[in-house]
Amino acid sequence: MAVECERARALIDAYVDRELAVDVSAEMQQHIESCAACRRRYEGRRALSAICRNPGLYKAARRGLRRRIVEAIARVAARLAAAGAPAVAAMAAACIAARCWIGTTYCP
Ligand SMILES: [Zn+2]
């Protein structure tokens, strides 16, 4: 396996999820277009990603569970904020994301 393929293998999930910087993403696209093995791997991951995004696979959390999860995240974020932990901003973002995910995206 060429070094390029090793790197592509390491980055393939981030590429499928569009998490790479523009220059790295372009590098991945170029490699995938020129390498049959990595193209097959990419197509497999892309198909799996599409299956996982199927909303029919998800079941809405019950209202009580949803509330308890959001409250638990808020308690942890408050504890971190009180301690002056540097992760407070990340926790706040995670709390907001969790609230959005639980309350909006998959739980109409
Ligand atoms: Zn390759």
Ligand 1 mean position, distance from CA 13 (Å): 14
Distance between CA atoms of residues 86 and 102, nearest Å: 25
> Are 52 and 75 found together in one domain?
no
> Are 30 and 48 found together in one domain?
yes
Domain count, the chain: 2
Higher pLDDT, 27 or 108: 27
> Are 44 and 69 found together in one domain?
no
Distance between CA atoms of residues 25 and 21, nearest Å: 6
The string over 54-64, giving b where at least 16 C-beta atoms fall within 10 Å of a residue's C-beta and e elsewhere, is eeeeeeebeee
What is the dihedral angle through the alpha carbons of 24, 101, 90, 70, rounded to the nearest 10 degrees? -170
> Are 41 and 10 found together in one domain?
yes
> Are 75 and 44 found together in one domain?
no
Ligand 1 mean position, distance from CA 53 (Å): 26
Judged against a pLDDT cut of 50, whether residue 44 lies above it is answered with yes
> Are 27 and 52 found together in one domain?
yes
Ligand 1 mean position, distance from CA 9 (Å): 8
Ligand 1 mean position, distance from CA 38 (Å): 4
> Are 26 and 51 found together in one domain?
yes
Q: For residue 17, give its domain range.
A: 5-57
Ligand 1 mean position, distance from CA 23 (Å): 17
Calculate mean pLDDT across residues 65-94. 73
